[in-house]
Amino acid sequence: MGLFDYFRAPPSKSAALAKERLQIIVAHERGGRRSSPDYLPALKKELLEVVRKYVPIDQSQVKVHLDREGGYEILELNITLPDEEQRSGQPR
């Protein structure tokens, strides 16, 4: 802060902007953490492996969804099995 600083434009107060941006991104990322816990991808992968022992399916046919309502958590699994003829000849 020298003599000439007195004639410059006032400082930008960039810290306020930083705080606002952080509050938004941190809230967003915390929300993401809550709605999809870390174990979901692993759970999906293992489920896929188990089902595949019996029925040939691929990644896109397993849907895992977690919802929160009040004090409850609802884990929704949706596995789409292939048509009967595609399955014939597969080991049971």
Partner 1 sequence: MATVIVVTSGKGGVGKTTTSASFATGLAQRGYRTAVIDFDVGLRNLDLIMGCERRVVYDFVNVINNEANLNQALIRDKRVENLYILPASQTRDKEALTKEGVERVLNELKQTFEYVVCDSPAGIERGALMALYFADEALVVTNPEVSSVRDSDRILGILASRSRRAEQGESPVKEHLVLTRYAPERANRGDMLTVQDVLEILGIPLLGVIPESPAVLQSSNAGVPVILEGGSDAGAAYGDLVDRFLGKDLPHRFMEGQKKGFLQRLFGGS
Please pick, from the candidates 16, 42, 50, 74, the single residue that binds partner 1 as defined by CB under 8 A.
Answer: 16
Under the criterion CB under 8 A, does residue 11 sit at the interface with partner 1? yes
CA-wise closest residue to 89 among 55, 51, 50: 55
Please pick, from the candidates 8, 9, 15, 74, the single residue that binds partner 1 as defined by CB under 8 A.
Answer: 15
Q: Which string of DSSP letters, residue by residue, matches 20-36?
A: HHHHHHHHHHHHHHHHS
Q: Are 68 and 34 in contact (CB under 8 A)?
A: yes
List residues binding partner 1 (CB under 8 A): 1-3, 5, 11-16, 18-19, 21-23, 25-26, 29-30, 33, 37-38
